[in-house]
């Protein structure tokens, strides 16, 4: 039965449909209302037969990470009566390979049964492989490394394709010509690069009348993104779009608003979070490609519970859809 389920899951993933295991068990524990509301899809298969301890390693410093926190908090409460404890290890605001590796090292030293984190840099691969070799299931969610580690599951949007969708929107919104500025998070981060390249490869190949400035690296810092957006608009009065590949789209939108450039310059970014709604409504944000951060953190923890408690299997790659949410001044729709 497990082999049949796994095969169906893999076929679904191959076809581009996200099919996470339901496992049709009477013991499946219904999702809490908050998790269902943000799109969580993995149910616990029942209480663990023995106490389990999971380490969730994540970051802070922006509304995006607050959305990740929301999924962590929901999963923590959901799994607690099922004999699984989640310890949230906060790694601070500096997203670097060294910080992630140190976090994994600490989790291994404390002998957690499973680990979930965002190993976005290739410098994390050896440490992830060390954890798996030690028999610790490891889930990479939101952003995996470009070099494939031996992690148990990699969950997230298909970053290059998401970037390509953003590029197609930009091209349609501009009517095929105009000037854009690109602000990325970390130039060494695989997912940020893939989102950037997915858009820019398309624009350079098919839309030669679109001029591209940057990329400018903001390191997911709002103050830096605000300054870069402001500088780009000041130096380029003909600028039409600011494309933000990672953190900073909200700050770029505020820069557009403060420059009184609403309707002349628009922001295309990621993560359709409640904090950004006002900029969609007032016109600074044209489009946001979403990646469901709360869902991903919740589902990754419940997967670990099911793997450890019930030997559940999941596809090695779990793709998350990347729908686009449009602002009121978006004239293009994909």
E strands, 133-253, are: 138-141, 153-156, 178-184, 210-217, 239-244
Average pLDDT over residues 85-111: 96
* DSSP state, residue 284: S
Q: Which residue in 194, 189, 247 sits closest to 218, CA to CA?
A: 247
* DSSP state, residue 265: B
Identify the pLDDT of residue 334: 87
Q: What structural domains does the chain harbor?
A: 2-157+293-319 (3.40.50.2300), 159-290 (3.40.50.2300)
Average pLDDT over residues 129-157: 96
DSSP string, 30-61: PPPHHHHHTT--PPB-S--SS-EEEEEEE--S
pLDDT in tens, 46-97: 999 999 999 999 999 888 899 999 999 999 999 999 999 999 999 999 889 9
For the chain, report the end-to-end CA distance as a whole number of angstroms: 39
- Mean pLDDT of all residues belonging to the chain: 91
Confidence of residue 209 (pLDDT cuts 50, 70, 90): very high
Identify the pLDDT of residue 236: 98
Higher pLDDT, 111 or 27: 111
Residues sharing a CB contact under 8 Å with residue 7, sequence separation 6 or more, in sequence order: none
Strands 266-270 and 52-58, how do they pair?
unpaired
């Amino acid at each position: 039965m497990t082999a049949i389920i796994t095969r169906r899951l893999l076929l679904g993933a191959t076809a581009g449909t996200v099919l996470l295991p339901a496992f049709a068990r009477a013991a499946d524990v219904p999702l809490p209302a908050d998790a269902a509301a943000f799109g969580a899809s993995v149910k616990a298969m029942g209480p663990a037969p023995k106490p389990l301890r999971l380490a969730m390693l994540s970051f802070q410093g922006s509304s995006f990470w607050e959305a990740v926190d929301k999924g962590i908090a929901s999963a923590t409460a959901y799994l607690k009566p099922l004999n699984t404890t989640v310890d949230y290890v906060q790694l601070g605001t500096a997203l670097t390979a060294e910080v992630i590796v140190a976090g994994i090292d600490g989790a291994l030293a404390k002998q957690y049964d499973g680990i979930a984190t965002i190993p976005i840099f290739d410098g994390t691969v050896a440490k992830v492989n060390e954890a798996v070799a030690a028999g610790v299931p490891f889930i990479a969610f939101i952003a995996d490394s470009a070099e494939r580690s031996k992690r148990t599951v990699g969950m997230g949007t298909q970053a290059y394709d998401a970037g390509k969708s953003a590029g197609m929107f930009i091209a349609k919104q501009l009517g095929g010509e105009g000037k854009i500025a690109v602000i990325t998070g970390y130039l060494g981060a695989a997912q940020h690069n893939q989102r950037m390249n997915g858009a820019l490869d398309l624009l350079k190949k098919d839309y030669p009348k679109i001029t591209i400035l940057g990329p400018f690296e903001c390191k997911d810092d709002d103050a830096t993104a605000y300054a870069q957006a402001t500088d780009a608009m000041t130096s380029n009065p003909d600028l039409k779009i600011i494309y933000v590949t990672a953190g900073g789209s909200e700050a770029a939108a505020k820069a557009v608003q403060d420059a009184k450039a609403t309707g002349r310059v628009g922001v295309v970014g990621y993560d359709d979070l409640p904090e950004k709604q006002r900029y969609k409504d007032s016109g600074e944000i044209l489009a946001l490609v979403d990646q469901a951060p709360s869902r991903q953190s919740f589902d990754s923890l419940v997967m670990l519970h099911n793997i450890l408690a019930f030997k559940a299997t999941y596809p090695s790659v779990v793709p998350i859809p990347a729908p686009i949410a449009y602002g009121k001044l978006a004239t293009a729709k994909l």
